[in-house]
Structures are given as structure tokens and as C-alpha cells.
Structure 1
Amino acid sequence: MHSMAYGDQPALICELVDWARACGFAVTAAGKGTKYLPAYHDSTPDTVWAHYGLDAEQAAAAGMNARMFNSFLDGTKSAIEMAAVANATGLGAPEGGLVFPPCGRDDLPHALRPRALGGQLEGPGMVEVVSSLERDGRPVYRDLRWGVYVTIEAPTNYAAACFRQYGLTTDATGRFAAMYKPFHLIGLELNVSILSAALRGEATGTPRSFTADVVAVAKRDLTAGTELDGEGGFTVWGRLTTAARSLADGALPIGLAHGVRLTAPVTKGQVVRWSDVAIDEADEAVSLRRALEAQARAAAS
């Protein structure tokens, strides 16, 4: 059995999705909160601490790893976690990447609706991450930086009336509502996964399909011969997309964008492709990825 770790945000999000579906609600969106500004995609281990309000000495004294914390900030970790949720739940991934709309708890049902209805989503049933910062850097009111959420649509007028009567946060129409958890305790909640697996034989979230992928995107103009340094590094960050778009583009997954050299230049903001790098096809991780891609193409044909 493979299981997500309860306490980490993907498992908590999957739990909210299961709850919503079990109640008969259509899931409009699901995801988490984080600290985000567009400039963070360019962040490197040399610049990361200023974004957290720390200096290098304070971070070192606390035992904080610059590359790891930079992957939290530059969008890579959010993309990986939302890919995990999409692949576990069947929710869609935004083809062009996460939008990170600034959004507090009270605005979840309004912002996390399809764009056709005035929200921020490409369509219904999507994963998305909300930012705890407005685009000008001001803090979002009642932000969800440490939490997770699901937005739902009432299947009937009666259910919509219940949303209002029972005090759920709704949009102006009353048909869309949100349920959220304002925190996650990471390792402190892991026993839920352990006991669920041992006593119930159930995973707290597990992949079921190849719905979403995380592709490597250049942080700066990269020349041929540049060695990519993967998650949280100086050269690339991970952007969420659909598995179909990733395969169509021949995109290099972020998990394999480490320790490989470019054979062609890649401009800032461009997706790195398999054809742009010298790859060791005999590497076990590469072989597994190639097998996944072949399986996905066969299923789509």
C-alpha cells in the first residue's frame, strides 16, 4: 500500500474531497494556502531568506535548509503537492500552472469558482493554491497560509438553503460554499496514516491516475552545458500542468531535472524538454518515468 502522510497538506485535502463527495456535493476546487508572489518563481537559495524575513545566520542557527525552503517559496512544492492531490482524486490541474489567487477564508467560495462565474478557475473541479499575500505584498485578511480547503457546489436548492442556515461561508449566490482547516501539523498527525493503514487497510490518499504533472521551467536564461540543479535550486522551478499537456510538450519532469546538462539553450520561463537535456536512459528513475509515459499514451490512444 502507498499512502500520503496525514498531517501533510495533500492527505488533508484528499480527506476534505472525500468528505464532500460522500455528502453528495460537487467539488469545485480543493487545495491549500501558501505565501506567494509572482517574483518568488525567480528565488534561489541565495535570495530565499529575505523573503522569509530572515538572514542566513538566523536560518543556519535554526537548521533551515536553503534549497528545501526555496522549493516551498518558488512554487515547486505547491505544484508537486497539487499534482499529488489531482492524481489521487481525479480533480483537474490548470494547464497553464497554478494561479495562486490572493484569497482569505471568507472569500474561498467566491474566488474558487470557474472564471465563467466570476472566479479564478479554468473550470469546475480543479486544484488550486491560494496566496496569503496580495499582489502588492499586503497580507490577505484571514489568510489560509497554513491550511487546506475545499469549495463545493450545492446539488439542490434545499442544500444551498442549508449552507446558509448552518453557517457555512458561501458566495453571493449561496450555491458555492467552503470547508477548510486552518492548520496542518505535519509529523504530529502522522499516526492517523499509520493507524489507518494498520487497522483499516486504508490509505490516507493514494495516486489513482496520471492526471497532473510538474514540469521544469527555467528561472533564467540557461545556456547549453548548464547543469540543472532541480527543486529549490538556481536553474529551474516546478510548474503544475495536465499530464496530457506535459506529454504533448515532451516536458522534463521536475523530479528528473537534477544533475543533467542542457544540450540546447532554454530561455527564462520556458519549459525544459527531454530533447533539451542529455539524459541517461538506463537510470532507474528515468526508466520508470518512460514506462509511465508509455502507459499514459497507450491509454489515451
Structure 2
Amino acid sequence: MSLIQKLKARAEQGKPVRVAVIGAGKFGSMYLSQAPRTPGIHLVCVADLSPDRARASLTRVGWQADRFEAKSLQEAARTGKTFITDDADAMIASDFVDVVIDSTGSPAAGIHHALLCAANRKHIIMVNVEADVLAGPLLARRAAEAGVIYSMASGDQPALIAELVDWARTIGMEVICAGKGTKYLPIYHQSTPDTVWGHYGFTEAQVAGGDFNAQMFNSFLDGTKSALEMAAVANGCELTAPSDGLKFPPCGVDDLPHILRPFSDGGTLPQKGMVEVVSSIERDGRPVYRDLRWGVYAVFEAPSNYVRDCFAQYGLKTDSTGRYAAMYKPYHLIGLELGISVATIALRGEATGATGDWRGDVAATAKRTLKAGEKLDGEGGFTVYGKLMQTADSLRLGALPIGLAHNMVLKNDVLAGQPVRWCDVDFDPAKQAVGVRREMEALFRKELGL
């Protein structure tokens, strides 16, 4: 049966999948807009630090007020309505939730919720890529030990890339490279919340008239989000991260198999089986023809001359040898697509992208020369951006992960472009996120023989 048939059957049986959302921001709101339209789904609870904000989000996406007037989870489960709360912990511990969606964006919160889900045997969809890259390989193990699913979020680019990679491998192709597109210039690594709008081309009037978060937008521009997402893909797809950060080659969809092939064949990759992000603009600022700014891709290789000939016979765009070809999806719909994850987990018992071995990490890297005594301000801020690294290199260096580089005070100067290390900052080992991360580092040092 298809997913929609399975969902309809659950609706007819009066046994809908009971879903809870933590965080009613943009991603969460996009899913909330679709959940009532999907048979066999009961959005039983929304948890947010501000219940009023959650109610406003539900109203904005078209919910009638009487649908979220339940006074408790029990009432919501009985009546088919939705309960709004600020107590995510109690929601996770309840008997009325099957699948939890963490769309908070907070690494510490994501780790906390994932561990609670494992303890309470709830499946979790980790929209929160910041938490996933900070501690996902360990969180996924904890979920597996508890017999529950820890999954990427369909609609977000890492899960869509994982889907393409799985498709290619399942039909017998070797994946050469996989990733996404974005707008990139090298100068963007130094962008701050004060300069971000100029790089985006937004006027002061546009910014003043909209709901814009400068630090959040800047995390996309300065390369941090790209690094986080590619680390998640490397960890979920058994692919290799570049040894010295993403290169962001300018590339349109027709050139994917030409540019994202190994050095030995005239491409830009040091080896097969890597992650990379392609830029939608040339280094001189000109737009790339048929860019992939909003999309995802996978490049794969024909395993035989027969398959190479099939590529040509069916019109695939290939490199000059005819061996390398690409599949891509030009757009992603973010939270609007999240229902695929919910249904796949609940009805098929499968993740939509599963974090596995720890292959890629994202180090906090100085945007300018930083002085001892300065306080780091985290992802998208004024002090650091996230740089993708191979895990073994990150562990040898003792790199501070970008997910923890917030409100930590420097003990040492750090030169522009250099990673911040654990030994460069004061940190509190008693904080849960710090403790979980340090536990994961110790575990993988042992496994990697470092």
C-alpha cells in the first residue's frame, strides 16, 4: 500500500498517528499548515516556550481557534483537537504521542528532547540540524538502543539528498558526490548581522517591513548552514567531507557531472564519494546558468559501458566521457514536505535519512582575529562561522563545535580563519549539551583509534 492508502486506513480505523511538534517557528508552522489536510494524522500537541506564539502560528496558517482549545493532552487525544503547552518534557513523557518533531533550532534543546524521546520510547524527527551535527551520531545510537527511530526531516535538504543517494545506490550506481546549491562568495564567511542585508540585496524598507532575523539569515549566508547540512549528509549517507572545508564551486545543473567528478577525470573532487555545495553565482558575481540555489543533487557513475550507453539513449546529461551523470531536485518545500517523514516512520518503521557513523563535523572558525576575553555569539553572529571538517581532523585538533560556540568566553587569541579549540574557551562540563558532546568525542576517539 502507498503511504496515503495506509494513512486513509488508519483514519478509517480511528487510529490516527499522534504527532507532537516542539517549536512553532517557520518550519514547524509549515508542517502545521498541512497536518489537518492529511488523513490519518492527529496533531495532538504543540509545545513552544511561548504558547501564545504557537496559537498565533496556528491562526496564521489557517486553523480555526476551536481546533486548538483542548485543555490537556488527554482531552486532545479524546476529542481530536490540539493541546498547546510550554512543557515539552511532559508532552514527550505522555502516553498520547507517537512521533515527536523537534523544530526548535536550539542544539541544547534538540539534544535534551532526543534523549527524552529515547527514554520514553518516542520516535523523533530531528528538524534541528544544529543538534544533529553536534551530537546526532550518539543520539541515533541511543534511539536505536531504545527501539525507536531517530530521523532526518523530509523537506529539509539533508533528507532529500539522502533520498537521492539511496535511490542511486539501490539501483546499483556508485555515488560520486551529493549535496545542494546555495548563493556563495568567499567574502560571505566574514558576513555579520550588520552586513547580511546588503549581501542579500534587501533594502532597509524591506527589512523594516518584514519578520527578518538578521543572525538567522546570516547563518545561511556565511556558510554555516551549508556546513551543518553537509555534515549531516556525510553522517547519514556514508560520504566523505572535504578535508579543508566546502569549496562551493559555481555550477549549474547541466554541469554537475562535469564539475563534481574526481581530479583524475578533470573535475574538482579529490576522491569519489564526497559531499559538496555548488554556488548559484560565479566568483565575479554573475549568475550561474540554470543554477541549483534551492535544490539538491547526486552525481553517480555508470558501472559498465552498457549502462553508459543507456545514459546516452535516455537523454541524461553526462560529462564528456558519458560515465558521470546527475539527478537533481530543483526545489525543496521545507516543512510542507514533513508529512512524508511522519508517515514513513509511523507506518513503515523507516527513517527518512538516518544518521550513522560520525564522518563530518563543523568547527567554530574565527571571522576575524578574536581576542582573549571576547564572548562568542554563535551561528550567524559577529565572531565565528561553521567550517566543515572530517571528524578525525576535528578530534585531533580539539575543535570547538559551532553548536556550542555561544556565550563562551575566549581564554586565548584566535587568528582570523582559524578554528576555535576547546582549550581556547571556558566551558561548563555540567551542561547537558556539553557533556553529551564530550561523551561522543571520547567514544569516537576510541573507535577511530585516535
Counterpart in 1 of 2:401? Answer: 253
Larger radius of gyration: 2
Please give the secondary structure, in 1, of the residue aligned with 2:167: helix
The number of residue pairs the alignment matches comes to: 301
**Cα deviations across residues 28-78 of structure 1 (Å, max 9, x unaligned)?**
000000000000000000000011110244124220111111000000000
In structure 1, list runs of 5 or more residues that go unmatched.
Answer: none
* Aligned ranges 1:19-98 → 2 under 5 Å: 19-98=167-246
Q: CA deviation at 1:114?
A: 1.3
Structure 1 counterpart of 2:431, from 270, 283, 293? 283
* Residue deviations 1:127-147 (CA, integer Å, cap 9, x gap): 000000000000000000000
Is 1:199 matched with 2:347?
Answer: yes
1: distance between equivalents of 2:358 and 2:347?
28
1:146-176 per-residue CA deviation (whole Å, 9 max, x = no partner) reads: 0000000111111111111111110000000
Letter in 1 for 2:271: G
2:392–2:448: 8 Å Cα contact kept in structure 1? Answer: no
Counterpart of 1:277, as a letter, is V
Match of 1:173 in 2: 321
Q: Provide the C-alpha distance between the structure 1 equivalents of 2:262 and 2:410, rounded to a whole number of angstroms.
A: 38
Structure 1 residue 3: deviation in Å?
A: 1.1
SS in 2 for 1:170: coil
Where does residue 273 of structure 1 map in the other structure? Answer: 421
| Structure 2 counterpart of 1:300 | 448
When the two structures are superposed, what TM-score results if normalisation uses the length of structure 2? 0.66
Match of 2:35 in 1: none
Structure-2 separation of matches of 1:36 and 1:249: 27
- Greater percentage in helix: 2
Aligned to 2:385: 237
Q: Percent identity?
A: 65
Q: Name the SS of the counterpart of 2:150 in structure 1.
A: coil
- 1 or 2 for the larger relative contact order (CA 8 Å, sep ≥6)? 1
Question: Which string of whole-angstrom CA distances, capped at 9 and with x for unpartnered residues, describes residues 73-109 of structure 1?
Answer: 0000000000000000110000100000000000000
Gaps of 5+ in 2: 1-148
What amino acid is the match of 1:136? D
Aligned-residue CA RMSD in angstroms? Answer: 0.8
Q: Point out 4+ residue stretches in structure 1 off by more than 3 angstroms.
A: none
Structure 1, 208-217 or 52-61: larger mean CA deviation: 52-61
SS at match of 1:169: coil
1:105 aligned to 240, 244, 253, which one?
A: 253
Name the SS of the counterpart of 1:294 in structure 2. helix
- The alignment status of 1:133 with 2:263, answered yes or no, reads no
Q: Secondary structure at the match of 2:151?
A: coil
**Whole-angstrom CA distance in 2 between matches of 1:212 and 1:248:** 13
